[in-house]
Amino acid sequence: MLSATNVDLFYGAAQALRGVSIEAKPGQITCVLGRNGVGKTSLMRAVVGQQPIRGGTITLDGQDLKREAPYARARRGIGFVPQGREIFPLLTVKENLQTGFAPLKPKDRTIPPYVFEMFPVLADMLGRRGGDLSGGQQQQLAIGRALVTRPRLLVLDEPTEGIQPSIIKDIGRAIRTLKEQAGLAILLVEQYLDFCRELADQVYVMDRGEVVHAGPAESLDDPAVRRHLTV
C-alpha cells in the first residue's frame, strides 16, 4: 500500500534521511524505532506531504505522491496523528474533531460513531475545550480527528509520548482494533520499545538518517538490533 523507496530528505545542507526505504501494508502495524533525532519524524512528515523529499519516491497503491499536497494525501486515505498531538486548545472537542472535515466532500462530513466507541471519553467531553483535556485525552482526540477522514493508512508519531500507562493501554487496544477490524495499514513511530514489540508486525530501526534494520517484531530482542536503540 505505502512504499517509500530510497528517500533522501534535507534541511538546507543537512541531510536528515539517506536512502530510506519502508513499506506499510493493510492489516499490519509497521513500527519505526530509533533514538532521538535519527529522522523518524522527518520520514512521517515526508509521507504525509509536510516535508518535501529531494530523492527517492513515496507511493500509495502504486501512485507517486510527489505532487500531492497534504490535503490531497488525506483525501487519498492517509491520516496523520502528529507528534505533540497539535490539538487546538481553545476549540471544543467536537470542533477539534470537525477540523478533520477539511479534506472531505460535504456529504462525508460526519464523525464516524466508532470514534466514540473507541474513545468514550471524547463523547463525554464533546463540549469541553481541547486545552482542558489531559495529555492522554488529547492523544485520543488527535487519533479521533485523524479517523474522521476515514483513512486507509494511519500514521502516528509517538502516540505514547508523555502519556500515563492506563491510557497507553487504551491507545494500544485502539490501534490493534483499527488493524484487525478495519484492516487499516498503521505506520507508527515509537521510542517505547515494549509498546512496539506488543503491537508491531514489522519493525524498522533507524540510525542517523538510515534504516539499519528491518524485520518482524521479535527481531527487537536481538542484541545487535538493540544496540541501535540504547543511548
Ligand X SMILES: Nc1ncnc2c1ncn2[C@@H]1O[C@H](COP(=O)(O)OP(=O)(O)OP(=O)(O)O)[C@@H](O)[C@H]1O
**Residue ranges that bind ligand X, judged by CB under 6 A:** 11, 14, 16, 34, 36-42, 83
Query: Least distance from C-beta 57 to ligand X, angstroms?
Result: 19
CB of 230 to ligand X, least distance (A): 15
145: part of which helix (H) or strand (E)? helix 135-147
Minimum Å distance from CB 231 to ligand X? 12
Q: Which is nearer to ligand X, 47 or 111 (CB)?
A: 47
C-beta of 12 vs 62, nearer to ligand X:
12
Q: Which is nearer to ligand X, 37 or 131 (CB)?
A: 37
The beta strands (E) that lie in the chain are given as: 2-11, 14-24, 29-33, 55-60, 63-64, 78-81, 153-157, 185-190, 202-207, 210-216
CA angle 215/25/9 to nearest 5° reads 75
Residue whose CB is less far from ligand X, 38 or 146: 38
Question: In angstroms, rounded to a whole number, what is the distance separating the alpha carbons of residues 114 and 143?
Answer: 12
Cβ at position 195, least distance to ligand X in Å: 14
Cell reading at 142: 488527535
Smallest distance from ligand X to CB 36, Å: 4
The set of residues, in sequence order, having a beta carbon less than 8 Å from that of 7 and lying 6+ positions away, is 17, 19, 20, 21, 43, 46, 53, 55, 56, 57, 58
Minimum distance of ligand X from residue 107's CB (angstroms) = 37
Q: How far apart (Å, rounded) are the C-alpha atoms in residues 65 and 41?
A: 18
Amino acid 117 reads E
Complex with ligand X: residue 98 or 191, whichever CB lies closer: 191
Measured distance CA(27)–CA(153) in Å, rounded? 10
Cα 224 to Cα 148: distance, rounded to the nearest angstrom: 40
Cβ closest to ligand X, residue 49 vs residue 100: 49
